[in-house]
Amino acid sequence: MIIWTVKVDSWSEIDKYFKRGGWLYRGQRSADWNLETSFERLCQRNSIPFDKRKTFESELIREVQRGLYQYESDSPSLTSKIEWLALMQHHGAPTRLLDFTYSLYVAAYFALEDATDASAVW
């Protein structure tokens, strides 16, 4: 995989680099973040060791499963972990999923939506 960094200060500069199609993009509100999932960042902030993360993730999923019935009448099968992770991701919970899009504009939206400093589009 080839990743290069290009700093741009305007939308007109973006056209110079990103007119080509077929790219995947990811917008992040902090330019300092690496390509890490929200779950990885949560574990790092809370000093959760790598060997405890699987158990921690299972506990998070179980908590969502316990409370979802209050808000949803239809939920994924209890054995479908990927569907639970996708549902959690959709609602902003920390997961090990990393979103990408084919749209530069969607990535830019997510990069700038809550940005308070330099944001990034990968």
pLDDT score, position 25? 87
* Inside any domain, residue 103: yes
* Single-letter residue type at 111: A
* Inside any domain, residue 10: no
Number of compact structural domains in the chain: 1
Q: Between these two residues, 72 and 21, which has the higher pLDDT value?
A: 72
**Residue found by looking up tokens 């994924």 in the block:** 76
Distance CA 86, CA 74 (A): 15
Distance CA 62, CA 60 (A): 5
* Single-letter residue type at 92: G
1 pLDDT above the threshold of 80? no
3 pLDDT above the threshold of 90? no
Distance CA 49, CA 23 (A): 34
pLDDT tens per residue across span 54-107: 999 999 999 999 988 778 778 888 888 999 999 999 988 999 999 999 888 899
**Percent of the chain predicted with pLDDT > 90:** 43
* Inside any domain, residue 89: yes
* Inside any domain, residue 6: no
Residue 96's domain comprises 23-121
* Inside any domain, residue 99: yes
* Inside any domain, residue 59: yes
* Inside any domain, residue 15: no
* Inside any domain, residue 100: yes
